[in-house]
Homo-oligomer: A and B are copies of this chain.
Amino acid sequence: MKLLFLGDLVGRTGRTIVIDQLPALVEEQQLDFVVVNGENSASGFGITEAILQDVLDAGADVVTTGNHVWDQRDTLVYIERQDRLLRPVNYPKGTPGRGAHLYTARNGAQVMVANVMGRVYMDALDDPFAAIERVVNECPLGDVADAVIIDVHAEATSEKQAMGHMLDGRVSLVVGTHTHVPTADHQILPGGTAYMTDAGMCGCYDSVLGMDKEEPVNRFQRKIPGNRFTPATGDATISGVAVETDDRTGLALRVAPVRIGGHLEPVLPDFWST
């Protein structure tokens, strides 16, 4: 099965490149399932229902989020009718929306996707390790699910790595988001789980986290807020990770980064067709 995961879409520049190019990627690479983190797609802050629809229409099967999920206030309402939008699964009981769900892929396979938020250097939600343990156990890979994808939205590399090791052999892919910088540590862990500490963002990399660089640099130097943060408008990069899973076990056979356009060195999986 061919999976693609794209990191945090940042602003118009980030969502436009994905909406423009994802349809062709899905078609040409015969991608079975695509997950996109959309927490910064609305001017850097959250996601509107219209943008969600655009991203789904472009070929995303699921849109995950993170700490910015509620930045657009009506997300609390529309998330209830949008089961392809996930918020972190470890929000307190009673939180609108869902954090994990089983979907049917283009090829008819069952794919479980879960979104979870770390707690190191972040506002503390419920235990991410216990929460993921629960949803993964409810949906065993190679049995109920043909593939399982975990988006670990977290700051600390240690927390993401620990999540990867805890799940190794039980899910198809553990991929981090939130730092907005792609890591180069993609690998298949000993138990067969594909892992990458951060998928990076889809946005302009001549920036600070995808936002225009002037104001963040100014704040670090002056310690006084000046203007608002606005998304950088330069050329964007699509950044993510591709996985090929074993149809029988659901574990990863191959993992490779995807980076297209913008300021970063381009790379496509060598197991993709050209």
A183 touching B181 by the CB < 8 A rule?
A: yes
Which residues from chain B contact A163 at a C-beta distance below 8 Å?
220
A200 touching B185 by the CB < 8 A rule?
A: yes
Q: When chains A and B are docked, how far (Å) is the Cα of A163 from the Cα of B124?
A: 16
Shortest Cβ distance from A160 into B: residue? B181
Chain B CB within 10 A, most for which of A124, A129, A259: A124
Which residues from chain B contact A155 at a C-beta distance below 8 Å?
121, 155-156
Q: Does A33 contact B (CB under 8 A)?
A: no
Which residues from chain B contact A267 at a C-beta distance below 8 Å?
184
A95 touching B184 by the CB < 8 A rule?
A: no
Q: Does A222 contact B (CB under 8 A)?
A: yes
A92 touching B223 by the CB < 8 A rule?
A: yes
Q: When chains A and B are docked, how far (Å) is the Cα of A108 from the Cα of B209?
A: 38
**Given the known A-B contacts A157-B209, A208-B162, are A259 and B124 also in contact in the complex, defined by CB atoms under 8 Å?**
no
A181 touching B185 by the CB < 8 A rule?
A: yes
B187 touching A184 by the CB < 8 A rule?
A: no
A 101-154 contacts with B by CB, 8 A: 119-121, 123-127, 129-130
Which residues from chain B contact A123 at a C-beta distance below 8 Å?
223
Q: When chains A and B are docked, how far (Å) is the Cα of A122 from the Cα of B146?
A: 39
Q: Does A38 contact B (CB under 8 A)?
A: no
Q: Does A265 contact B (CB under 8 A)?
A: yes
Between A and B, 12 residue pairs with Cβ closer than 8 Å are: A76-B224, A92-B130, A92-B223, A126-B127, A155-B155, A157-B180, A162-B208, A165-B213, A165-B217, A184-B259, A186-B264, A187-B265
Shortest Cβ distance from A197 into B: residue? B181
Name the one of B95, B158, B220, B224 contacting A222, with C-beta atoms under 8 angstroms: B95
B92 touching A185 by the CB < 8 A rule?
A: no
Q: When chains A and B are docked, how far (Å) is the Cα of A267 from the Cα of B184?
A: 10
Q: When chains A and B are docked, how far (Å) is the Cα of A76 from the Cα of B221?
A: 16
B162 touching A217 by the CB < 8 A rule?
A: yes
Shortest Cβ distance from A76 into B: residue? B224
B208 touching A165 by the CB < 8 A rule?
A: yes
B185 touching A130 by the CB < 8 A rule?
A: no
A 213-236 contacts with B by CB, 8 A: 213, 216-217, 220-225
Shortest CB–CB separation between residue A136 and chain B, in angstroms? 13
Q: When chains A and B are docked, how far (Å) is the Cα of A93 from the Cα of B221?
A: 10
Shortest CB–CB separation between residue A102 and chain B, in angstroms? 25
A 187-246 contacts with B by CB, 8 A: 187, 189-190, 197-198, 200, 205-209, 213, 216-217, 220-225
